[in-house]
Amino acid sequence: MTSLKTLQLWGCNLNGQIPTTQGLCDLNHLEELDMSNNDLSGFLPPCLANLTSLQQLYLGSNHLKIPMSLSPLYNLLRLKSFDGSGKIPPEIGNLRKIKALNLSHNNLVGPIPPTFSRLKEIESLDLSYNKLEGEIPPQLTELYFLAVFSVAHNNLSGKTPARVAQFAMFEESCYKDNPFLCGEPLAKVCGAVMSPLPSPTLTTNKDNSGFMDMEVFYVTFGVAYIMVLLVIGAVLYINPYWRRAWFYFIELLCDM
């Protein structure tokens, strides 16, 4: 069936490695290959490079491993998903014609390769539901055609990419469930330190304390009382008539 363009084998309970000796790699007119939701294992066969017309490859929900060399996939236009474990090889950045890359739900570990910035034609990048670590490469803001982006549900840390160009459109849901990730559009601010509460000052206590108000009253009363005594003393010293009247008044008080 060398003229076959679409081959859908999803959910067929296939197991073992992808066959290479039974003609699969000879389907050089194949445009869509769907082998997802099976029990396939091992690495992708190098002969997939013969499928030069392949545009869509679905391998999700298997136990396949991402090969360290992606040379069999360099001619793919749309790579939808891999399923397997391990790290993302930096060679994936050589898939220059790729439009959509879905590596979600793969138990992938390690960092996101900065070489992803070479995928200049990519429109959709989904790395969610893995165990990826480290920072999100800031070079990803150079992917100007990117319309769908998700790194949610990983262990990423550091600052989210700058809110420029297409990255200004991506919402909090694109980054959620990364406990150590910070920056917009997340609520967690990078480098935020809790500001200590201002220590109460003496002035503040004076303004808010009833005891301090009484102290002010006593001081004011004392000063006024002394001033009155000084004024009375001065008047009695200067005016003899008032001085005699004052002493007469004191004598009357004593007699009583």
Over the stretch 109-120, which tens digit does the pLDDT of each residue have? Answer: 899 999 999 999
Please tell me the distance from the alpha carbon of residue 213 to that of residue 204, in angstroms, as a whole number: 12
Instruction: Please say if the pLDDT value at position 138 is more than 90.
Output: yes
Instruction: Please say if the pLDDT value at position 149 is more than 90.
Output: yes
Q: Which pLDDT score, from 0 to 100, does residue 86 have?
A: 77
Which stretch of DSSP H or E encloses residue 79? strand 78-81
Q: Say if residue 196 is exposed, middle or buried (CB neighbours under 10 Å; 0-12, 13-18, 19+).
A: exposed
Instruction: Examine residue 19 and state whether it is found in any structural domain, yes or no.
Output: yes
* Whether 94 and 210 share a structural domain: no
* Whether 178 and 215 share a structural domain: no
CATH number at residue 113: 3.80.10.10
Instruction: Examine residue 238 and state whether it is found in any structural domain, yes or no.
Output: yes
* Whether 215 and 160 share a structural domain: no
Q: Which pLDDT score, from 0 to 100, does residue 176 have?
A: 94
**Spatial contact of 109 and 134, defined as CB atoms under 8 Å apart:** no
**Spatial contact of 31 and 54, defined as CB atoms under 8 Å apart:** yes
Within 13 Å of residue 135, how many CA atoms lie on the same side as its CB?
13
Domain membership of residue 54 as a residue range: 6-182
Instruction: Examine residue 17 and state whether it is found in any structural domain, yes or no.
Output: yes
The helix-helix angle for 240-255 and 210-238 (nearest 10°) equals 110
Q: What average pLDDT does the structure give for the chain?
A: 79
Q: Which pLDDT score, from 0 to 100, does residue 51 have?
A: 81
Least confident range from 18-27, 58-67, 184-193, 233-242: namely: 233-242
Domain count, the chain: 2
Strand ranges of the sheet holding 86-87, from the earlier edge strand across to the other edge: 86-87, 108-110, 131-134, 155-159, 180-182
Instruction: Please give the average per-residue pLDDT across 229-252, as a whole number.
Output: 69
Q: Which residue has the higher pLDDT, 88 or 21?
A: 88
